Amino acid sequence: TNMITLASATECDENPDEPPQSCQDFFNCKNASLGEQELAQQFEDMGLGDVGFAQGTSQALYHGLFLYSRGSTPSNFTIFAFYEEDPLQMDNISKRALMLTSVATRGQGDTLEDIKKSVKQTVKVPTTFDGLKNQIGFYDGALSIFFGEDSVPRQKLREFIKKMTKNKHTFKANIVIDKLFPAKVMYAIDIRYQRWLGECKRAQDRNEVDDSIIDLKEIINDISNSRFFVDLPPSFSSTSDPADNDGVVDKGSRKRGADESEK
């Protein structure tokens, strides 16, 4: 739990004793299916009940997998994994829980790798400014659940949201020009948070973590100065339009092994 504990600090030189209670409540669930219900309920309690996330996402997080599974391809604790669900397509949470319980029961003699191969993760790309803002807001909620309401990573993202809202006309103009602009903004945020979490994982003390990595003012400045550039990974090139397939990209089932848990 070292990575999560250090990421939960509210100041750069603070060394928390433990993760926030909301995070503990998730990991204290008896199995992944109950963890999924707990996660959904916590989003609901925050007024984010319309958030969607794949079964594979909650299961990966339950097993402590927060960093990307493969190179630069978003997975696990990624900003793309928490999206606004279409009410007409929302799964019944109890049915999802039953499915996961069945998987866990059926795989009692299997390794963690075998169990995780049974589900996929899904990332979703918004195509409008409002969709972009909403999806970043869902990630903000996830940061609050796992690292705490006043944690450094949440403080940094909320600053970005304020600046993004203030510069919404610039963002909207870029979306008109570049249909992948929302994906590029989210990926720019995501890779910074992944790098920062990696530092939290490796650090022995909180002062070893460089919080400037998640200072997102650079993104805003680059967009405002027309010099923003992000090279998206190949997974985003699988469709010519992010609106195709509702902007959804299914990730492969290859994940880290049990000995690579980042908690």
Closest CA to 26 of 48, 2, 42, 47: 42
| Distance separating alpha carbons of residues 98 and 170, to the nearest angstrom | 45
pLDDT at 14: 84
For residue 189, give every residue at least 6 positions away whose Cβ sits within 8 Å of its Cβ, in sequence order, or none.
79, 136, 139, 157, 160, 216, 219
Contacts for 51-54 with beta carbons within 8 Å, 24 or more apart? Answer: 51/82, 51/83, 51/84, 51/85, 51/138, 51/141, 52/82, 52/83, 52/84, 52/85, 52/86, 52/90, 52/124, 53/81, 53/82, 53/83, 53/122, 54/81, 54/119, 54/120, 54/121, 54/122
Q: Over range 232-243, report the average pLDDT.
A: 62
Backbone angles phi, psi at 121, to 5 degrees: -105, 150
pLDDT at 85: 80
Furthest-apart CA atoms within the chain: distance in Å: 56
- 14 SS3 class: coil
84 has a pLDDT exceeding 70: yes
Condensed to tens digits (0 to 9), the pLDDT of residues 24-67 reads 999 999 999 999 999 999 999 999 999 999 888 999 999 999 99
Condensed to tens digits (0 to 9), the pLDDT of residues 73-82 reads 899 999 999 9
pTM, two decimals, is 0.82
Q: Over range 203-231, report the average pLDDT.
A: 94
Contact between 107 and 115 under an 8 Å Cβ cutoff? The reply is yes
Query: What pairs with residue 83 in β-bridges?
Result: 52
Condensed to tens digits (0 to 9), the pLDDT of residues 164-180 reads 999 999 999 999 999 99
For residue 46, give every residue at least 6 positions away whose Cβ sits within 8 Å of its Cβ, in sequence order, or none.
141, 144, 145
